[in-house]
Amino acid sequence: MAASDPHKAADPEAVKRHPALFRAIRKRRNPRLRRTDITVTDDQAVKRAVKAASLGNAMEWFDFGIYSYLAVTIGHVFFPSGNDTTQLLSSFATFAVAFLVRPLGGMFFGPMGDKIGRKKVLALTMILMAIGTFAIGLIPSHGTIGLWAPALLILFRMLQGFSTGGEYGGASTFIAEYAPDKRRGFFGSFLEFGTLAGYVGAAGLVTALYALLDTGQMESWGWRIPFLVAGPLGLVGLYLRLRLDETPAFQKLEGGTAHASEAADGVESTAKGDLAKIFREYWPTLILCIALVGAYNITDYMLLSYMPTHLSDELGYSETHGLLILLAVMVFLMLIISQVGKLSDRFGRKPLLMTGMLGFLFLSLPSFLLIRQDGIPAITIGMLLLGLSLVCMLGTMSAALPALFPTNVRYGSLSVGYNLSASLFGGTTPLVITALISWTGSNLMPAYYAMAAALVGVIAVACMKETANQPLAGSPPSVETAEEAAELVQAQSPDPKF
């Protein structure tokens, strides 16, 4: 491989004899940015993109979240066995099935998003998720059609998982490519604001149903209502996404209206979407992505999906109590998540991510010891400690992950890495924790599992590069104003010599 510096590649004596020639070579290899190379973002377009991606994400995770919050009831409806633990394990196994097909969805939708565009694929994932969720609400119970009931449930859960495989990678890529470099953390945090909003909507609706209906009504027809709401919500999300323009970075790959030249070193000029290329050329970064996402997802699903079931099934609280506490914690996280995004722009992605990982490493055990205490205040404090650790990752990860990969393979690489990790570690979290508690008899197993995940996360964060306030790999710089663009160009001009 040729050295990047021509002075190192050539004989030092030759450099001294022909300084002008070697300056010309250096400029050719690292040309200065021109004003037309720099993307000046449209503030209104950025806000529309963030709103559509975040609202769409909220609807996706509303669809996905209602299953986990109804896990106990769904276990009774679809897996009647007479044993509560067996029913719960069967229900969580079906929850995990959706994650087994997520890598397939990532491998299908990700490269497609690098070929035909982010916008079209995000609209398609929205349609499939709404269909899958709506269909679950129509499935007859096990008492009506026997084994066909759990079989159909698994089929539509797989459709949900397949569509979700293209959602996070696409939505985070969409926002990252629209946002200016200095505010990517702030705008990216709204994607996870949408995730929390989806979970809050799901938890709020399920809590209301548990409060208004008795057990017989919930198992007869009440559980269907949240799934049937998904149809109209999916149409709203689809409308919002179809109104958007393609991202400037992807338009540049397609030779569209976003202008860039050879000046931005490493800027790509063709969209290939080659899955084999992702595994062949970017496998070290994929491994880093999988480690980061694994640590993040285990802690995320442990708190946001599994915890209500832990409070009701393991500690004996009613379903309503567990969901109300989680609702309060999630609303609090929604209020502060954009500030975490701002902090990641100011101090960097690594400090915020490391804070979250270390929080889970050192606070998980104290938090679960508090949660085991009898009383709502102790449980709330324990869950808040976990929530504050999680929000450091929630508010930062959606800006950090897209920056790992260059533009021409970003959607595909992130979708593959994110969903492989989510499949192996995220979706299996409730199942693994329930099984570990069953085998060991210890209600502290969720804490130990989260601590192990956080330790992997600490190592992964230590290995990643800082990307805050820098252009995305394979894209030219992106700024908010023409004045900033002029300053960037001016900064590269040599000082005058007198």
Residue 433 phi, psi dihedral angles, 5° rounding: -65, -45
pLDDT for 401 equals 93
pLDDT for 347 equals 95
Share of the chain above pLDDT 70, in %: 83
DSSP 89-140: HHHHHHHHHHHHSHHHHHHHHHHHHHHH-HHHHHHHHHHHHHHHHHHHTTPP
Higher pLDDT, 415 or 12: 415
pLDDT tens for 46-78 read 888 888 888 877 877 787 778 777 877 887 888
Q: What pTM did the predictor assign?
A: 0.77
Amino acid symbol at 113? G
Q: Is the pLDDT of residue 493 over 70?
A: no
DSSP 384-399: HHHHHHHHHHHHHHHH
DSSP 333-351: HHHHHHHHHHHHHHH-HHH
Q: What is the mean pLDDT of residues 481-492?
A: 70
pLDDT for 264 equals 36
Provide the token pair at 87. 């029913």
Residue at token pair 């559509």:
52
Q: Is the pLDDT of residue 84 over 80?
A: no
Across 105-119, 193-207, 469-483, least confident range: 469-483
Which DSSP state fits 264? S
**Closest among 345, 483, 473 to 407, alpha carbons compared:** 473
**Closest among 240, 108, 233 to 166, alpha carbons compared:** 108
Q: Is the pLDDT of residue 272 over 60?
A: no
pLDDT for 303 equals 85
Q: Is the pLDDT of residue 388 over 90?
A: yes
Alpha-carbon gap, residue 139 to 255, rounded angstroms: 47
CB contact at 8 A, 90 and 156? no
Alpha-carbon gap, residue 27 to 475, rounded angstroms: 19
Q: What is the mean pLDDT of residues 466-478?
A: 83
**Closest among 483, 28, 411, 33 to 259, alpha carbons compared:** 33
Q: Is the pLDDT of residue 496 over 60?
A: no
Q: Is the pLDDT of residue 395 over 70?
A: yes
CB contact at 8 A, 394 and 195? yes
pLDDT for 110 equals 81
Alpha-carbon gap, residue 477 to 489, rounded angstroms: 11
Amino acid symbol at 302? M
Q: Is the pLDDT of residue 325 over 70?
A: yes
Across 244-253, 298-307, 346-355, least confident range: 244-253
Higher pLDDT, 331 or 99: 331
Across the chain, mean pLDDT equals: 80
Q: Reduce the DSSP state of residue 305 to 3 states and report it.
A: helix
